[in-house]
Amino acid sequence: MQQNNQPAEAETFEKFDFLIEEYKTLREEIKETKSRIFQLAILGLTGVPSSYFLAESYDNLKILRSSLPILICTFLFFFLSETRALMRCGQFIKENIEPVVGKRVGAKEEKQHWEE
């Protein structure tokens, strides 16, 4: 009977290790995504006003002024896509990793107020 039980325990242990590695990978992805969001915010906050200033200062750059809405929409699109990627990582951790790891560790299932 022990031989039949060992594969089930080994499979559970391998699944737990896999979930821990997956969690670590997702946390790294979250760090990288937050870094990209910060870089986009800095670039947007400095690049757009700088572009506007240059367009107003030099007559030959007036075309830049008319392209600013496209530039702003592009920054907004990139910002929203990075934010959505961050939310997907967090949602995957919350729905797929935390319940399994929490049961294994013996954590209480409590609803976090900040999660909603």
Category of 74 on φ-ψ map: left (φ > 0), alpha (ψ -120 to 50) or beta:
alpha
Identity at 110, one-letter amino acid code = E
In a domain, 3, yes or no: no
Structure tokens at 13: 């242990």
Q: What value does the mean pLDDT of the chain take? A: 84
3-class DSSP state for residue 116? coil
In a domain, 115, yes or no: no
In a domain, 109, yes or no: no
Domain that holds residue 42: 11-103
Structure tokens at 50: 């700088």
In this prediction, residues 5-24 reach a mean pLDDT of 76
The band of 100, judged by pLDDT with boundaries at 50, 70 and 90, is confident
| Distance in angstroms (rounded) separating the CA atoms of residues 72 and 23 | 34
**Highest mean pLDDT (candidates 26-35, 47-56, 100-109):** 26-35
In a domain, 5, yes or no: no
Q: For residue 82, with 0-12 CB atoms within 10 Å meaning exposed, 13-18 middle and 19 or more buried, which class applies?
A: buried
Question: Domain count of the chain?
Answer: 1
Of the CA atoms within 13 Å of residue 28, those in its CB half-sphere come to 6
In terms of pLDDT, which residue wins out, 76 or 14?
A: 76
In this prediction, residues 8-35 reach a mean pLDDT of 86
